[in-house]
Structure 1
Amino acid sequence: MNILALLDQIPIGFVVLACVTLGLAPFVPEPHLWEKLKMLGAGTLTKPIDIFDLFWHAWPWLLLIAKLARMALSRQA
């Protein structure tokens, strides 16, 4: 099975739920993803735990982008 077939099998609802929960957690005082992106922009994202945290909170959003792009491309074909 190739990676695109696997991407097609993941339900979009699951991906959206992962974005809302894991992608935005914790909600207060600000989502970790937003905090880590600000650190990346400021050049202060240097600790391995912060880099891991960025990846951990960003993967649902990256998966959503890939899923939506795949859905858009399959509609055009």
Structure 2
Amino acid sequence: MDKIPWNILIIGSLTLGLAPFVPEPHLLEKLRMLFQGNLIRPIDIFDLIMHGTLPLLLLLKIIIPSKADESIDKD
């Protein structure tokens, strides 16, 4: 996670994670389908993975502390 730059994750999450902007982002549509139990077609599963990967990586980068931060805390 340390090797992935913040700017790539933020820009990618905003563009790919929210695309298409109108009428509704695919990520929100696919998450709703997942919670309703309607996410069964392979193309829908692929869409969820494609549109959700960068936002998930951004969330993980926020939650999981970096190794550089851990080494500073030990000193």
TM-score tier, shorter chain, comes to 0.7 to 0.9
Once the two structures are TM-superposed, the CA of residue 71 in structure 1 deviates from its matched residue by 3.6
Higher-Rg structure is 2
Q: CA RMSD in A?
A: 1.7
Matches within 5 A, 1:1-77: 7-71=1-65, 75=69, 77=73
TM-score by length of 1: 0.82
Specify whether residues 71 and 13 from structure 1 end up closer, same or farther in structure 2 by C-alpha distance, changes over 3 A only: farther
Aligned residues with identical type, % of pairs: 49
Residues of 1 paired with 2:42 and 2:6: CA distance?
31
Stretches of structure 1 that go unaligned for 5 or more consecutive residues are 1-6
Bigger helix share? 1
